[in-house]
Each structure stands twice: as structure tokens, then as C-alpha cells.
Structure 1
Amino acid sequence: MGEDRVKINHEPLNFFDGVFIGSIFAIATIGLSFFYTTTGVFNFAHGALLMLGGYLTYTALTHLKLPLFFAAIFSVLLVASFMTAFYYLSLLPIRKQHITSIIITLALLLMLERLITVLYGPWGLPFPTFFPGVVNFAGVEVSLQKIYVTISNILVIFVFWLLISKTWIGLGIRATIDNEDVAEALGINASRMHLLSVFISSAITAFGGINIAATLFLSPILMSQMNVVAITVSILAGLGSIWGVIPAAFILGFADVIGATIFGGWFRFVSMTLVVILVLIVRPRGIFGQMERIV
């Protein structure tokens, strides 16, 4: 009987892993939240865009032999352009028909997942290591690649904040979100703002897919799991709260690491689920969900 009980580990908490996982959750989610906030469409194909970012970069690195920077730029621009074109042709005309738009994004998710599985196979692929080596962080060895990914995630989110909060592009997007009719009266092309928002959100998502592949692994299964994680983080933050995604992501990141440290890796999603349930009991709209859509 004693062997059947859950074993509790007594290993020290790896603080860096909490920051790393939190940054991964944030970069994997913020594009989904921004897409929904700006267009009103909840994009269930989000996980497929993460997947595309990772697989296209893998192809550019291993087959086209491009340097990492150009491989990443190539993948991000391709994914963002593809999703913007798809939105313009399929979602923009019917974006206020919520059920129809959900069905279309689900169809896109299934199509891309199937395409990637056919082209690359259902198994994991080894993503190239571009920052080999480890450093000692508070008594724990941390790979340089993880450090690079964590810093780049935080930097991209900061640049995104600057773009939305401090530039005329961000002003136009925020005005369109607040009131499309007033924005149009002020000379802002609302449809163009929607397309620009889709491009930005998809670019961030593709970048997130690259960093997920670079530090975890590259497989359709992982990206499907990250789709669930992104939706979970969005719900915890409150649908429509872009900046609420960041603290929500780090809360779940540390819950993931604490659960795994105490009970083992099997407890990762359990600890995250418990946190989400407890928060939603107290705040059914999520931590920052006072309004439907918040920038």
C-alpha cells in the first residue's frame, strides 16, 4: 500500500524555471488574446499558428540552411501573411457571426494539423541548438538556450506593448476597438486596423512557436497542448484582457513548476487546472475580466 501513495519530492524550487515557463505561456497566449480583443473572433487555430512558426523555422534552418535570425524572420512573416490573407478572405466578412467564425477557425486548425502531420510525421523532431552550454543559476544548471528564449520572450512582449501603447498604429487599433464608427468618422480605416492587428498577433504567435520548439521540442502533440494552455491562460486572465495575460501566464507558470517540484511531472497540468478553478470560483470572469474586451 505504501508504494501506491503519491510521492512528495523535497527538491528546491527552481525559480528560473518558473520565469521560463511563465514567459513561454505569455508569448504563446498574448497573440490569441490580442486577436480576440481586436477582431472579436476567438481563434481556435491559434495552436496551428504556433506549430507553423516552429516547423517553418525548422525547415529554414535544416533544409534551406538559413541563419537563425533570417530563418525566424522568414517564418514569422510567412505565418503572419498567411493568417492575414486567410482572415481577409474568410473571417472579415462574417466576423460578427460568432458560431460561423469559430467553425472556420476550427476547420483551419484541423487542416493545418493534418498537413503538418503528413509533411513532417506525427513524431517529435530535434530542433537545432543555437546557444549550446549551461550556466549555474542559484545552484541549478540552466541552459543558455533557455535563458535566450526567456529574455527574447520578455523583450518581444515589451516591444509589443510599446507598439500598442506609444505609437500611432496602436492608437488607431485602440480607437477601432473602442468604437469602430467613431474611428471611421475620424478617418481611421477600421478594416485595415483589423488586418494589421491580425498580422501583428500572428507574427507574435509564430515567434512564440519558434521559442517553444527551441526549448521544449517540436511535435504536433506539443503544439496542441500549447493551444489548450493559451486558451486556459486567456480564461484565467479574462477574455479580452491583453495585458492581464502576462500575470496570468506567470501565475500558471509557477503553479506548473511548483506542482512538478513537489509531486513530479505528472502533476503539472493538475496544479494549473486547480489554480484556474479556484480563481474562477471567486472571479468567474477571470482575474482582469471586468469588461468584455480590454486593451
Structure 2
Amino acid sequence: MTDSEALRRAQAVRHFNRFYTQHIGALHEHLAKSEFSLTEVRVLHELSRGRAQTASVLGRSLALDSGYLSRLLTNFERRSLITRRPSEFDARQSLISLTESGHAAYAPLDTAAIKEVSSLLAGLNPLAQEQLITAMKTIERLLGAEPSHELVVLRQPQSGECGWLVHRQAQWFRSQHGWDQSFEGLLARVVADYTQRSDPVREMCWVADQNGLVVGSVCLVSVSTTVAGVRLLWVEPDMQRLGIGTQLINACLRFARRAGYTKLTLTTASSLIEPRQLCERTGFKVVAASPERRFGKDLTIERWELNL
């Protein structure tokens, strides 16, 4: 990345931060009329979720200074908003919970916050609302300290998601491997053929959904009466090594066996380490490899197979 490109991206992030901060300030105008600061409301919100927590856990989850948090909690305790009890697992720690007075103090703040956010969303049509929420979830996922381990559910793609998968994979392989638009054309043909045939008995596509975000995909298509091909196999780079790829391949295996196939095939390039490792872990074997000019690059194309 050039210095000018890095600067452009940094400025874009700063611009968004200013924009978002202004909106957050507007959404918390009601706090000016409240006896609680924004930080106090954040702590009350965390405790209102019904799970007793220690001060150290609260501090880490909210990124608060331990001394400041200690003073805040002492003030809450003096006002009978929280209770503390010794932890069964660590006598040095106390478990903190909201009292009935604490829940009563937080409830109107929570109601007011939901009302304000709902008013903001009301100015957008339903599709724009979902677009905004998806963008926010993506920011959380990408900037999270660790990959999210929330449940991943496999489901059939909704309208527009197959096209998005073509866009996302073509974008990634262009950025990381320099593949040209012919790769996007290949992906688009796979999607077009699958959606137009619409044969749920013999073919199936899945997306890996985590909390409303698509983080992976795979498509199983008919090659012959006994052979099925694995296509559009993809896991978002920041979500790899969490077992999602194996989950997708296993879905293909179960479906293929029910459909009566006796063999699965998969084609990849030798330079793509993650797909090759996934193939090896799930029992595929390399049956052919040949140098080819594809997607604007000199590649070694490998054909993998798995007997069912």
C-alpha cells in the first residue's frame, strides 16, 4: 500500500468517526436531563442484561479505567443501585448485580434510547435500515479484538446474496492475488446456472450466517448422475480457522449422499493454501494438476476428489 493510499484510508476513518460521534451525541441528548452520565448508563446497561459480573470483567468489556470504575461502582452502591456478593470461584472478586432500584433507574433511560434510535431508523426505508445494520455489524466484526465465536447457521441464500458472493470473492481475489475479471465471470456463470436450473433435489447452495452476516458459502452442483461439484466455497478471511469451512463441506457431504452421488469434485489453485488444507482435512485427494493460464495469471490448477 502506498503512503497516499494509507493516508486516504486513515482520513476516511476519521471522517466517519466525526460523523458518527455527532449522531451519537444527538442520540444521547436525553442524558443532559438525566442524573447519569453516558459512562454510568453504559455500566447500568451492561448490568441490566441479568448476568452478575465482576468489576474486572466490566472494566475490560467497557474499556474503563479500573480506578474510575471503582469510584463509579462505589457511588452506585451508596445509592442502592447495585449489590455485591463474593464470587464462588475467586474470593478476591465480588459479583455485581443491579438491585430493583437499579433496574427501575435504568428502565426509563433504556426506553428513551430505544425510542430515539427507532426515530432515527424511521427516516430510512426497510432495505436501507438493513443495509445500515449490516454495515454496523461488519464494523464490529472487523474491528473486534478476536474473531467472533457466535453460532454460525447454514441456510439457503436470500435474494441478492448470490450476486453479493460473486462480488465479494471477485473483489478479494483481485486484491490479494491479482486475478482479473474472467474469475468474476466464472463465478457469475456458476450462480446463473444454479439459480436457473433450480433443482433442490440434486443441487443446493448454503451461506454461513453469523448474527445476520454472511461469512461463508458453498454451492453443490450436478456434474453427472453420480458426480457433484463443489463450487463457490468461501470463508471470510477474518473468520477462517473457526471450523466454518468444514461445516460447509460437511453440508455438501450429507446432501450429496442423500441425492445419490458417489463422488465429489473440487477445483482450486495450488497457490491457495487455505482451500487446499480444507480439502485435506475433509478427505479430498488430488487426482490431477496442470499448469494453466487462468484469470490473468500462470497457475497450477488442481482437481480434488472425494469418494462417498
Q: Does TM, scored on the shorter chain, surpass 0.5?
A: no
TM-score scaled by length of structure 2:
0.21
Query: Between Structure 1 and Structure 2, which shows a larger proportion of helix residues?
Result: 1
State the structure with bigger RCO (CA 8 A, min sep 6), 1 or 2. 1
TM-score scaled by length of structure 1:
0.22
Query: Between Structure 1 and Structure 2, which shows a larger proportion of strand residues?
Result: 2
